[in-house]
Amino acid sequence: MRTAVEGLSLRFADAADVPLILVLIRELAEYERLSQEVVATEALLRETLFGTRPVAEVIIATYGAEPAGFALYFHSYSTFLGRPGIYLEDLFVRPHLRGRGIGRALFVCLAQIARQRGCGRLEWSVLDWNEPAIRFYESLGAKPLDDWTTYRVTGAAMEELANQ
């Protein structure tokens, strides 16, 4: 994958990257003050990302020889557009490497993938308190969807719902 940032390379992850992906997920969770939420294991990531039915894809960013960050995404679908979309679950650039264009390069790459795959949109969520990320996203031309609220069912609530 081409990038305009000197010293930066982007590539699709493979199964050998699972330990690195988990390290980056844990670093992201620490930054987001959500470390207690991470229950992912290398075995789970290996199965869900590279197993018989992969459900998401990962792009690894390397700056020089150092792993710099990642983007983990999957396909969604818009009934209104009648086309697939890409949902960016996580984008993370290690704090000491921020401000070098790595995050922007990851977004450019995602937009190119979306275009190549005929996707109608690229979307993601951001924590309300994460002002640096919000400013960055707005600099890319992203607009918040103020009239939408995200809901989630997980854990015991999901089990209870499934058992009805």
d(CA 60, CA 137): 19
Other Cβ atoms closer than 10 A to 30: 11
> Crossing angle, helix 42-50 and helix 18-31, to 10 degrees?
110
Catalytically annotated residue among 31, 77, 87, 137: 137
Residue that the structure tokens 């949902």 belong to: 87
d(CA 145, CA 5): 30
Is residue 102 within 8 A of residue 8, CB to CB? The reply is yes
Task: Establish whether 73 is a catalytic residue.
Answer: no
| Catalytically annotated residues | 137
